[in-house]
Amino acid sequence: MPITYEITRIRLDASGYTATGAYYGTGAPLFYFQSECETHFGWMRARNRWELRRKLRARYPDAKFIPARAS
């Protein structure tokens, strides 16, 4: 059964902190992913949303994705 995910980019400053002060470090952009049923979720680094989709499909071959929301 396919699992549908929503992907959100976590904005970090140059030091690796979010606007609320959480530290994630520096490196490739950070994304949060969560399934609609909220059973699969986590954080992952990827160059962009498309690379993240490829990484998630490697773990979950039947993965589907909710269209990105306008920010």
* Nearest Cα to Cα of residue 61 among 5, 13, 18: 5
pTM of the model: 0.85
Asked, for residue 35, whether it belongs to a domain, the answer is: yes
pLDDT of 40 reads: 86
User: Which helix (H) or strand (E) segment is 35 a member of?
Assistant: strand 30-35
Span 15-64, pLDDT tens digits: 999 999 999 999 999 999 999 888 889 999 999 999 999 999 999 899 99
Name which residue leads in pLDDT, 69 or 63.
63
In which domain, by residue range, is 16 found? 4-65
Asked, for residue 71, whether it belongs to a domain, the answer is: no
Number of structural domains (the chain) is 1
Asked, for residue 70, whether it belongs to a domain, the answer is: no
* Confidence band of 69 (pLDDT split at 50, 70, 90): low
Asked, for residue 13, whether it belongs to a domain, the answer is: yes
